Amino acid sequence: MSKIVVYETFYNPIEANIIKSKLLDSGVQCFLSDENTLTVNPLYNQALGGVKLHVFEHDVPLVKSILAESGAEGAEDFENAEDAEGVSGMTCPNCGSDHVGYVQATKERFGILTILVSLLLLVYPFRAKKVHHCFNCQHEF
Ligand SMILES: [Zn+2]
């Protein structure tokens, strides 16, 4: 029977759950502790030391490689998404430039509903409004 160790501590229960699912998907046994307390009351975070991810000691190298791999994939997906966003085929109604991207708004970034939901849940706004943005004159539409 191998020893169980705390692999990592998270201050964000959602992040902890994402990592847990990734590991379970890869067939690695693991579990979280102090998760429910922290989800209900994030202010206990400091007191409890965050959500702890426990794994078997012999799985630690495997866990490392899984997380390193999925981290790289995630970054790649993100870059591809950025590339796709850069080409929108739109022209700017302000200056006529076709250097226009469909991106997260720099002004009025978050819709009012998102802000309200965020306040209710006490989390940072997670869904940013998207607009067409002209890189030539900074006009958004
Ligand atoms: Zn423009």
Helices (H) and strands (E) in the chain, counts: 5, 5
Let me know whether 100 and 37 are in one domain: no
Ligand 1 center from residue 101 Cα (angstroms): 11
Residue 74 is assigned to a structural domain of this protein: yes
Bigger pLDDT: 117 vs 96? 96
Structural domains of the chain, count: 2
Average pLDDT, the chain: 76
Average pLDDT over residues 1-27: 89
Bigger pLDDT: 53 vs 124? 53
Residue 124 has pLDDT above 60, yes or no: no
Question: What type of residue sits at position 65?
Answer: S
Write out the residues surrounding ion ligand 1, Cβ under 5 A.
92, 94-95, 97, 134, 136-137, 139
Ligand 1 center from residue 126 Cα (angstroms): 28
Domain that holds residue 115: 87-134
Within the chain, strands assigned E span: 4-10, 30-33, 51-56, 100-104, 130-134
Ligand 1 center from residue 94 Cα (angstroms): 5
Full-model pTM: 0.47
Let me know whether 48 and 110 are in one domain: no
Residue 140 is assigned to a structural domain of this protein: no
Residue 139 is assigned to a structural domain of this protein: no
Residue 82 has pLDDT above 60, yes or no: no
Coil/strand/helix, residue 85: helix
Bigger pLDDT: 9 vs 50? 9
